[in-house]
């Protein structure tokens, strides 16, 4: 059984925004241009009134052209700045451990990153060899520097990327059982509000939505609870909220392995379309007989019940 792990990157797999090593490198040039510039996060002030996916990338192209980011190339981003990104604890070891766990449960894992960041930065990290695919922003360029944007990923279009990967064949009508990755076998990892659409999309279809936050950061935890619908069964956008710690034996590893085990067992005992269960619980099934059938199934199916009970874990 193929399972798909789908990850946001910034503050999901990393402890900082992936662009920060690059911004740190060019701090002096940025200070010359903008006297108020002091720290990497100040760069976002230059992009405040732009779309999240394209604004900072356009600004970077401008800074290459005007000499602030003199000579910045795709190759430099991958070889020099990508390796400097601070990854979250337990990475990249998480990936082979998940592989071993999946192997022992007869699962075939794939790991996909979907990010509003920059492709060569992600490919320059130590997790890149473990990834099945990376979907992120890209620049065109030459040996003298980047020259234009060739691809962007808008944070609110990540669902479309997941659909494309899961279906596998965009041009043929397929039964869900024939998808490359069944939505029931998908796990989505993100860090907050901009990941909410993909959390909801996967959770409504029987997959697992996992939101991570900085370990020990109570305000970050409470903010995630607030933004993702609280702890109510019907309102929560997530299945799991857990600290961003990918080390062996961490809470995140334990709950992820539990979810994978439940996937295996659910395939043996439950063939109900979870989208019907989700609609039934929200009172959105208009046909009384269908509602009765789905409701009866839900009352007897512990696997569907597990999916509707979010686990919000602070420590």
Domains of the chain plus CATH, in order, are 2-16+86-269 (3.40.50.1000)
Supply 315's token pair: 């420590």
Bridge partners, residue 28, by sequence: none
Residues 87-96 have pLDDT tens digits of: 999 999 999 9
What's residue 175's pLDDT? 78
CA triple 267-232-315, angle to 5 deg: 85
Rounded to whole angstroms, how far apart are CA atoms 128 and 289? 49
Residue owning tokens 């998480």: 94
With cut-offs at 50, 70 and 90, classify the pLDDT of residue 233: low
Q: Residue 41's pLDDT is what?
A: 94
List pLDDT tens digits, range 67-120. Answer: 999 999 999 999 999 999 999 999 999 999 999 999 999 999 999 999 999 999
| Residue 155 scores a pLDDT above 90 | no
Cα separation, 74 vs 254, whole angstroms: 37
Give the C-alpha separation, 262 to 285, whole Å. 26
The mean pLDDT value for 185-200 works out to 94
The C-alpha atoms of residue 223 and residue 220 are separated, in whole angstroms, by: 5
Of 239 and 172, more confident: 239
Question: CA torsion, points 192, 96, 80, 64, in degrees to nearest 10?
Answer: -40
């Amino acid at each position: 059984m193929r399972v798909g792990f789908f990850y946001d990157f910034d503050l999901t797999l990393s402890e900082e925004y992936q662009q920060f090593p690059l911004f740190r490198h060019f701090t002096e040039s940025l200070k010359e241009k903008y006297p108020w510039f002091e720290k990497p996060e100040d760069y976002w002030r230059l992009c405040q009134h732009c779309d999240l996916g394209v604004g900072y990338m356009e600004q970077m192209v401008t800074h290459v052209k005007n000499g602030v980011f003199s000579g910045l190339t795709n190759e430099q981003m991958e070889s020099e700045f990508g390796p400097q990104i601070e990854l979250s604890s337990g990475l990249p070891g998480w990936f082979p451990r998940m592989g071993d766990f999946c192997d022992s449960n007869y699962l075939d894992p794939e790991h996909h990153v979907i990010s509003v960041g920059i492709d060569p930065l992600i490919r320059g990290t130590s997790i890149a060899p473990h990834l099945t695919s990376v979907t992120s922003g890209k620049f065109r360029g030459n040996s003298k520097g980047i020259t234009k944007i060739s691809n962007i990923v808008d944070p609110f279009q990540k669902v479309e990327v997941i659909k494309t990967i899961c279906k596998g064949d965009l041009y043929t009508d397929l039964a869900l059982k024939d998808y490359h990755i069944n939505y029931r076998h998908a796990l989505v990892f993100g860090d907050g509000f901009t990941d909410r659409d993909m959390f909801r999309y996967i959770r409504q279809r029987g997959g697992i939505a996992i939101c991570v936050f900085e370990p020990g950061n109570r305000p970050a935890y409470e903010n995630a609870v607030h933004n993702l619908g609280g702890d109510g069964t019907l309102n929560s956008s997530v299945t799991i909220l857990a600290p961003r710690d990918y080390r062996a034996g961490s809470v995140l590893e334990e709950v992820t392995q539990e979810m994978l085990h439940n996937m295996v067992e659910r395939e043996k005992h439950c063939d109900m379309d979870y989208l019907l269960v989700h609609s039934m619980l929200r009172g959105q099934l208009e046909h009384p007989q269908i509602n009765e059938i789905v409701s009866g199934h839900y009352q007897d199916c512990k696997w569907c019940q597990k999916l509707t009970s979010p686990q919000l874990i602070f420590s």
